[in-house]
Each structure stands twice: as C-alpha cells, then as structure tokens.
Amino acid sequence: MTAPSDRMLLAFVRLWAFALLLHVCMADQHRLDTVWGIAVATLAFAVLIQPRSLPLFGLLLVAQLADMVAEMPYSPNHWMLDGFVGLTILACFAVRREVSLDALRRAVPGIRIVLLIAYSAAALAKYNSTFLDPVTSCASAIAARASFGATRDLPLDPVWMIATITAESLIPVLLLIPATRRHGVRLGMTFHCLITLSPAIGVQDFSATLIALFFLFLSAPDADELLDRLQRLTSRSAVVRDVRRFPYVAAALGLLVIGFTGYLSVGVASAATNVISKVVLVAIVIAALWSWRQAAPTARIAGVTWIHVPMIVVTLAWALNPYLGLRTTASFTMFSSLRTEGTEANHLFLPSVHLTTWQEDLVYLESSSDRAIDRAAESDVAVPLLGLRLRAMEDPGLVVTGVLHGDRVTFGPGTGQRPLEPLSLWERKYAHFHAIPVGDQPFCTD
C-alpha cells in the first residue's frame, strides 16, 4: 500500500491553508484586527502560492494555535480541531527535526485518528432526546434557516433529523472500513458541501476543514485521480488561469477583499467570501464524485506511532468534556443540543459522570442588567454559575437575578448582592458553557 504522495500532501497543504484562511476572516467579520488573525490570513495566502515552502506552512500552524489560545474559551469546535491537527503535524516536524514532506507524511495517520475521534464524537452527541425529537431537533432549525423559512411549515422535520444523523453516523464507519473508505470520503465531502450551499448558513470554514481532512483518507492513486479531474475542471476557467498567471497580485487582492473589506461593508465582504468558498468547495466535490467509479487501492489507516499518541489522547479527552462535567462548548458536539448539565442528561445511552460541580451549579435566569442575558431569561434558560463568573470579568457591573439550588439570588457587585468571583487564568481559558433550555421552547445549541 502506497503512502500519501508528494502531490497529495501538497494538495492537503493548500486545502488546509484555505480552511484556516476562511475561518479567521469569517470569525473577524472580514475586519482583521489582531496580530494573530492577520498573521494567519497572510501566511495562508503565502502557503497557497508556495505550498512547497513547508517552513511557511509550519509558521501558519503556529499562528493558528496562537489565535486559538488567544480566542479561548470562545474558540469554536472546528478551530479546536484545527489546533489539534496542527499540533500533530508540528510534533512530527519536531521529532523528525525537519520541516519537510516526509515529516508531514508521518503525521497523516495521527491526523486521521484525530478526525475520526472528533467526527464520531459529533455524531454520537446527536443521539439524544432533544435532537431525535423532530420538533426540537437542531436539524429542523438549521433546515428552516437554510431555506429562509420555506421549510418551517412543511412536514419534513423527521426527514432532516434522520438524514443528518444517518449521514454523520455512516461517515466515520465508512472511513474505518477499508472497502468503503473512498466512498466515505465522497459522502463526507458531499454532505458537508451541501450544508454550505445556502447563504444563510455560514459554515463553509467548517466544511473546508472537514473536506481537507477527508481528502487524507484517500489512497495516493485515488487522490491523484481527484486532482486530475479538478485540474481539468478548473482549467476551463479564465479566472483560474489569471490567478495562476499572477498569483501574488491575486493573493494581495484576496487578502484585501476577504480580510479587510468588512471595514467598509460586512455584507459585500461576506458575499465575496461566500461565492469564492462555495465555488472552490463545489469544484472539489464535483471532482471527487466524477472519479467515483475509478478503481483505486484503499488507503490504510495503520501507521500510528508513539508520536501521535499524545494528541490522540488529548482529542479523546476533549471530546469527553461534557460527559465528565467539564466545559460543554467546542467539545465536538456540533449542533446536537446535547445536555449533560444538572441531574438529567438527555443522551440516550452515554452516561455523565461529573468530576466537578461546574455543570451542577445551575442558575435559572430571571433578569439581568445585561440585555443578552435578560433576553435569554425570557426564553427560560439556565446557565452554569461559572459562565456568569466569566461574564462578570468582562462586565464588572453585571447584575443577574436567578435561582441557584432552589434559592433566589441576586448576583452583582452591589450591597446585599452575592459577588461573582473572578476565575483563575486557566479557568478563564478553559471553562465555557452553553445556556440550557428549561422551558418548552425549541433551543438549538452548537
């Protein structure tokens, strides 16, 4: 069985740079304003032009990790996944003492396992009573949003729920089985490309991340066939030909448009990013489907070594966060409405064993001086006390009234109010929690 070819690895480098570029620009609403965000965007364009410059790629991975840490605890699911993948690659660079394609090739088996853990966790999280209820399922809410409300009154809620949980459950299984691995790649690419097609759903950075990672599950001949198809498809475009002729001009204009045009108009910048990202992702998926019938050997997952073990363990531990009573956000539970807080978890079969009281100290909101929290109180939600303590560090004058362990309490800095104690540095970077619905209103959490 052949290892990933140089051509395949260089294609992954470009796909990965594209995914990181999309995220940092979209997350900052196309108004890059941090040194790390600007570094990620600039280095991503540099890598797109010079994918063979692996030191540039290594710097891009370091910049992404720095941005992730700076954002924490608010870094989203896929930005954490990107960070774990980046650490896996950087570890192989460090152990091999070289920043090369051979070192990147050595990282691929570990990357595959990291993706399988994260994706399986996201699929398993959806086996809960909230997601499997067509009325409250996130699948129905996302379908309604993607269709601009057109599907809201149609009797299709069970369809969206079943289609979503079936696809997400099948993809990691197909990727694990040698005979079906290449089809798992195509199903995964197609499913996550379809999710991005609606301009109302801004998840193309997440889809780009997954498509890049799915690509690594192909065998070298299968990847070559996909890339050949993609090259023939894109060679018909005058725009693509111009970009190839003037790559530095195209990169400078691209950085300006999707990185900084938001200062003039977020709508224009978002529209440009939508068009560019969707064209790229759709072209990749068309090429993947076009080569479906082409015979090719199966890519093996074997090859995991001690170098990969630390990040595999960290990824698994991160996925277990909600079930262990730790943080509930960005733990690979994407849009599942999983609830592990309090005493009544909603998962159908995975137990919750709380190692801390963080998810048990729930404040049932009544009112607040913060407009966002006050609106949440109107929707009948509760939040872990640590979440309010984090919010109070950002707003020292925060006042919140709610019920904690059966007692009505007013939290705040004033006389007679219970202070919201500041968190330690590690808690501030680590502890982050969803709001929890306690009423009858549908509530979709990511």
**What pLDDT shows up at residue 202?**
80
1 domain-assigned:
no
Number of domains in the chain: 2
Which residues, given as ranges, of the chain have pLDDT below 70?
Answer: 1-2, 293-302, 439-443, 445-446
Compute how many other C-beta atoms are within 10 angstroms of the C-beta atom of residue 20: 27
CA neighbor of 42 nearest in space, from 58, 27, 60:
60
Range of the domain at 348: 344-437
- The verdict on 358 and 275 lying in the same domain is no
Cα–Cα distance, 261 to 12 (Å, whole number): 28
Go through the chain and tell me how many residues it has: 446
442 domain-assigned:
no
**What pLDDT shows up at residue 179?**
87
Cα–Cα distance, 146 to 251 (Å, whole number): 31
- Domain end marker among 269, 297, 313: 313
409 domain-assigned:
yes
- The verdict on 137 and 22 lying in the same domain is yes
293 domain-assigned:
yes
Q: Which two tokens stand for residue 187?
A: 């199903």
CA neighbor of 258 nearest in space, from 426, 437, 28:
28
**Bridge partner list, 347:** 128
Q: Which two tokens stand for residue 220?
A: 């070298």
142 domain-assigned:
yes
8 A C-beta contact, residue 63 and residue 86: no
- For 283-304, how does the pLDDT look when each residue is reduced to its tens digit (9 = 90+)? 999 999 887 766 666 666 668 8
- Domain end marker among 292, 313, 334: 313
147 domain-assigned:
yes
What's the sign of the alpha-carbon dihedral 60, 61, 64, 66? negative
- The verdict on 77 and 172 lying in the same domain is yes
Q: Which two tokens stand for residue 206?
A: 């997440």
**What pLDDT shows up at residue 299?**
60
**What pLDDT shows up at residue 293?**
67
**What pLDDT shows up at residue 438?**
80
Q: What share of the chain is helix, strand, coil (3-state, %, to 5)?
A: 60, 5, 35
407 domain-assigned:
yes
**Bridge partner list, 362:** 384
Q: Which two tokens stand for residue 297?
A: 């050997």
